[in-house]
Amino acid sequence: MTTFVINERDRFPQTRVEISGRWLFGPGPSNADPRILAAMSLPPIGHLDPDFLTLMNESQSLLRYAWQTENPMTIPVSGTGSAAMEATLANTVEPGDVVLVAVKGYFGHRLVDMAGRYGADVRKITKPWGEVFNLEELSLAIEIHKPAILAIVHAETSTGVRQPLEGLGEICRANNCLLLVDTVTSLGAVPIFLDKWGIDLSYSCSQKGLGCPPGIGPFTMSPRAVEKMQNRATKVANWYLDMSLLSHYWGNDRTYHHTAPINMNYAVREALYLLAEEGIENSWKRHQENAESLWTGLEELGLECLVDKAYRLPTLTTVRVPDGLDAKAIATKLRIEYNMEIGLGLGELAGKVWRIGLMGYNSKPEKVLLLLAALKKVLKP
Amino acid sequence: MTTFVINERDRFPQTRVEISGRWLFGPGPSNADPRILAAMSLPPIGHLDPDFLTLMNESQSLLRYAWQTENPMTIPVSGTGSAAMEATLANTVEPGDVVLVAVKGYFGHRLVDMAGRYGADVRKITKPWGEVFNLEELSLAIEIHKPAILAIVHAETSTGVRQPLEGLGEICRANNCLLLVDTVTSLGAVPIFLDKWGIDLSYSCSQKGLGCPPGIGPFTMSPRAVEKMQNRATKVANWYLDMSLLSHYWGNDRTYHHTAPINMNYAVREALYLLAEEGIENSWKRHQENAESLWTGLEELGLECLVDKAYRLPTLTTVRVPDGLDAKAIATKLRIEYNMEIGLGLGELAGKVWRIGLMGYNSKPEKVLLLLAALKKVLKP
């Protein structure tokens, strides 16, 4: 074999940045519970190891509890929340299927983009960013478009809106339509009754309500959604996220599909155990109470929230940037002076809002105090 | 809002398995260096944090060194090696493109399956499992099929074969064909000169030669491959893995695409720094030497390797199961008595071979001794 001279151009990067952590009050990742970080650093074992298979069962069970579902096909996908998001569409959309997307923020637009890539006939209805749809509007759109799938975001991370979902599942069932709901910024932190609300497909992430680092994406599909997948005329147009294959690994066969991200699975199991120990309804209550303290404190600072209180997410608050202030400059100041991250506006809201997260491990009274104290300092120096 | 009674069916799983680690001598994951596990447990920071952006640059640089490439578009994909594998095809295949796959094991078949899902006109040539293709066979097939992409596995994890690749890049270029090479079980451990060999697309994993836990997938594409992607008439049929979008996050714009798996990125950076500190050629030499000790030891135990020594991978050795022995029973005994994992045969080789890995942190003289001693005990009790 010919050997060549080793190219050392890229062997010594000019930096070696040291990671020391920050207070993460943005849209996620949020700070992780030390128990979760300890779990992540346990030694890896094999993806077919009996201990790992047992751990998989535990995570599936706990994820069902977190979502309040009994869906057998409930798993953490081996990617971030965006991979789990794509998995919902990839498995159920066949070319030509009408997919109706109710768009009221950035992530609604992403659903439109993704559905189109799987050949869907995508229809959309829209609302201004910061508002919600009412049941009549959604019902009417279903009658007009007769979609195979209605996709809607429960907790819009770009606007801080909580979309009411009660009653929508019944309308979808009556119209032979699957209901797909984004619960990225709500799972574990905001009331969701997946089965009671008739939701067929959902996805989330690890780094918000669950307080785990990002890298693994909770995913669930109802028996109705599984049936649509099983009746496909074509293979799922995505190998990595193909649930018809993955169900054999996560089900009884334990057939190898891909090597699972072992340590991320340790982490999400620990996060889910923490949630089960607390009790989901206590976590929901905690997030609501700390968010209300934040809102009161913001008002005292003379700041205004974008979203009407009735539809405001407890996990993610969008705060209007007062006239004359530079949103990014304030966020940078917070980072430099107090080692603290808050989020900037996305899309239509770029420059107009900050996005402040209080999620999972960070939804605590003392963190609300800290955040408000720091905001006060940078706003009124 | 109506509230429902909390469903506690899945709140308390019947188990809570404790992870205590094993000696991982299977096809991967391999044991991780403690420095990498420590890096994984650092607190997460934001995916747009300046420190994280710097860390991304470092990983890109070090990945280029590991692959011996100067490809700007070299990144760790936010999923396992299988996601990076799919990314190579998803970004470059357009419906109707001829993709020629040289199949000589399980992962060749997977390339066929994946390419088909992206609408490729898939052609294949095959070799018995355990053998390699020679340059004339590949050259002839290229002339016959005139593919847009030739896909071949450098290190077949299912058979333990190392496919010679020198000269193939020139033939592909002369035929206006992209060369796609699976380096899952070779990156960091087996000589690869990506640019010198004219490879246009490659993918790997974190949990083998790099000695990191699984969950992040090295990916690289040459300027020729980028050009094919940029000339697409259609969007990449996979949002999560769309490099035309991801290049804006990993490039100068730093546009948000998805929240990166922060802690997995800490881990892979640390793994790559370890490799750069050792020097890639020293790592290659170490893997070769320890593999040769293993092969000698196996011979002394009366065991036979499947693959001809000239084409044997140093990272993964397939060992024939002697007549009358139950492959699975022996592997189980190793796990129960010595807390040690070795791999079973996949596909055509199920029941016929064991797959023994010595990769990354595990490629050490003392681990060879330990493994051989344990094998001796369970084979000749």
* Mutate which: B80, B197, B259, vs A, most A CBs within 10 A: B259
Q: A132 to chain B, minimum CA–CA distance in Å? A: 15
What pLDDT, on a 0 to 100 scale, did the predictor assign at position A3?
81
Q: What pLDDT, in 10s, does the model give residues A257-305?
A: 999 999 999 999 999 999 999 999 999 999 999 999 999 999 999 999 9
B300: its two tokens:
């002394």
Longest dimension (CA), chain B: 73
CB contact under 8 Å between A58 and B15, yes or no, is yes
Closest CA to A130 of A99, A172, A94, A161: A161
In a domain, B181, yes or no: yes
Closest-approach residue (CA) in chain A for B112: A239
Sequence-separated (6 or more) residues with CB below 8 Å from residue B267: A263, B32, B36, B37, B39, B40, B206, B212, B213, B215, B216
Out of B276, B310, B328, a domain closes at: B276
CB B7 to CB A49 under 8 A? no
Contact of B5 with chain A, judged by CB distance below 8 Å, is answered with: no
In a domain, A7, yes or no: no
Residue with tokens 């346990």: A42
B272 shares its domain with B338: no
From B23's Cα to the closest Cα of chain A, the distance in A is 8
Across the interface, whether the CB atoms of B13 and A113 are under 8 A apart is answered no
3-state secondary structure of B140: helix
Task: Kindly report, residue by residue over A79-93, the tens digit of the pLDDT.
Answer: 999 999 999 999 999
Domain co-membership, A220 together with A296: no
Q: What is the CA radius of gyration of chain B?
A: 22
In angstroms, rounded to a whole number, what is the distance separating the alpha carbons of residues B357 and B365? 13
Q: Is A257 inside a domain boundary?
A: yes
Give the pLDDT score at A217: 98
Main-chain phi, psi angles of A134, to 5 degrees: -100, 165
User: pLDDT (tens digit, 9 = 90+) per residue, A11-44?
Assistant: 999 999 999 889 999 999 999 999 999 999 999 9
Both A299 and A256 in one domain: the answer is no
Between CA A271 and CA A217 the distance in angstroms is 13
Do both A297 and A366 map to the same domain?
yes
Residue B201: what are its φ and ψ, rounded to 5°?
-140, 135
Point out the domain boundary residue: A243, A276, A309: A276
Nearest to B331 by CA among B346, B321, B341, B317: B341
Q: What is the CATH number of the domain that holds A349?
A: 3.90.1150.10
Residue A222 has pLDDT above 90, yes or no: yes
∠ CA B153-B158-B163 to the nearest 5 degrees?
35
Q: One digit per residue, pLDDT tens: chain B, 381 residues?
A: 568 999 999 999 999 999 988 999 999 999 999 999 999 999 999 999 999 999 999 999 999 999 999 999 999 999 999 999 999 999 999 999 999 999 999 999 999 999 999 999 999 999 999 999 999 999 999 999 999 999 999 999 999 999 999 999 999 999 999 999 999 999 999 999 999 999 999 999 999 999 999 999 999 999 999 999 999 999 999 999 999 999 999 999 999 999 999 999 999 999 999 999 999 999 999 999 999 999 999 999 999 999 999 999 999 999 999 999 999 999 999 999 999 999 999 999 999 999 999 999 999 999 999 999 999 999 986
User: What range does the domain containing B77 cover?
Assistant: 34-276
Token representation of residue A328: 């990014």
pLDDT at B3: 81
Dist CA B25 CA B368 (whole Å): 10
Cβ atoms of A287 and A314 within 8 Å: the answer is: yes
State mean pLDDT over A350-376: 98
- Nearest residue of B to residue A60, measured between CA atoms: B10
The owner of tokens 């955040």 is A371
Q: Is residue B4 part of a domain?
A: no
Return d(Cα A161, Cα A139) in angstroms, integer. Answer: 20
Question: How would you label A243-256 residue by residue, b for 16+ Cβ within 10 Å and e otherwise?
Answer: bebbbebbeeeeeb
Examine the domain organization and report whether A295 and A173 are in the same domain.
no
pLDDT range class, residue A62, cuts 50, 70, 90: very high
Are B160 and B241 members of one domain? yes
Task: Spell out which residues of chain B touch residue A8, defining contact as CB-CB under 8 Å.
Answer: 65
Nearest-Cα residue of chain B relative to residue A43? B21
Residue A368 located in a structural domain:
yes
**A241 and A324 share a domain?**
no
The residues, ordered by sequence, that sit 6+ positions from B265 with a Cβ below 8 Å of its Cβ are B52, B55, B56, B59, B76, B216
* Smallest CA–CA distance from A51 into chain B, residue: B17
Selecting from B13, B46, B70 the residue whose C-beta is nearest the C-beta of A24 gives B46
Give the pLDDT confidence score for residue A48 in this predicted structure.
96
Q: What is the pLDDT of residue A351?
A: 96
Is position B8 within any domain? Answer: no
Spatial neighbors of A33 by CB under 8 A, at least 6 apart, are A211, A212, A270, A271, A274, A360, A361
Q: Which two tokens stand for residue B318?
A: 């397939």
- Residue B1: predicted pLDDT: 59
Strand partners, A150: A100, A179
For helices B223-230 and B243-250, give the axis angle rounded to 10 degrees: 120
Share of chain A above pLDDT 90, in %: 98
pLDDT in tens, A114-141: 999 999 999 999 999 999 999 999 999 9
Residues 6+ apart with CB under 8 A from A188: A66, A204, A208, A209, A210, A211, A275, A280, A283, A360
**Cα torsion A330, A205, A256, B96: sign:** negative
Residues A245 and A311 in one domain: no
pLDDT for res A2: 67
Say whether residue A72 is in contact with chain B using an 8 A CB cutoff.
no
Domain CATH for A100: 3.40.640.10
Residue B227 lies in a domain: yes
Q: How many domains does chain B have?
A: 2
User: Which of A11, A80, A281 lies at the smallest CB-CB distance from B276?
Assistant: A11
Query: Cβ of B239 and A114 within 8 Å?
Result: yes
Percentage of the residues of chain A whose pLDDT score is greater than 70: 99
Statement: residue A335 has pLDDT above 90: yes
- Segment holding A365, helix H or strand E: helix A365-379
Tokens representing residue B76 in the block: 């760790």
How distant is the Cα of B141 from the closest Cα of chain A, in angstroms? 23
B6 found inside a domain: no
Same domain, B66 and B197: yes
- List, in order, residues 6 or more apart from A277 with CB less than 8 Å away: none
Distance from CA of A249 to the nearest CA of B (A): 15
- DSSP assignment of A277-328 equals HH-HHHHHHHHHHHHHHHHHHHHHTT--BSS-GGGB-SSEEEEEPPTT--HH
Is B6 an interface residue toward A (CB < 8 Å)? yes
Chain B residue numbers touching A44 (CB-CB < 8 A): 21, 24, 29, 31-32, 207, 213-214
Among residues A276, A297, A316, the one where a domain terminates is: A276
Q: Are residues A322 and A189 in the same domain?
A: no
Tokens representing B180? Answer: 């796609």
The CA-atom distances, in angstroms, between B253 and each of A136, A381, B77, B246, B249 are 41, 31, 18, 10, 6
Same domain, B76 and B148: yes
Interface mutation target, options B40, B54, B204, chain A, most CBs of A under 10 Å:
B40
Which tokens hold the place of A211?
């307080």
Statement: the pTM of the whole predicted model exceeds 0.95: yes
Mean pLDDT of all residues in A153-174: 98
Rounded distance between C-alpha atoms, residue B213 and residue A261, angstroms? 7
Look-up of token digits 């993964």: B316
**Closest of B59, B72, B68 to residue B271, by C-alpha:** B59
Reference B49, options B264, B260, B267; nearest CA is B260
**HEC string for A221-260:** ECHHHHHHHHCCCCCCCCCCCCHHHHHHHHCCCCCCCCCC
Interface probe with B: pick from A42, A197, A254, A275, most Cβ of B within 10 Å? A42
Residues A254 and A199 in one domain: yes
Residue B271: CB atoms within 10 A of its CB come to: 29
Closest to A234 measured CA to CA, from B237, B358, B205, B56: B237
The pLDDT-based confidence of A380 (bands split at 50, 70, 90) is confident
Q: What is the spatial distance between Cα B75 and Cα B209, in angstroms, rounded to a whole number?
A: 17
* Residue B233 buriedness (CB in 10 A; 0-12 / 13-18 / 19+): exposed
Give me the residue from A31, A39, A235 closest to B117, CB to CB: A235
CA distance B320 to A20: 49
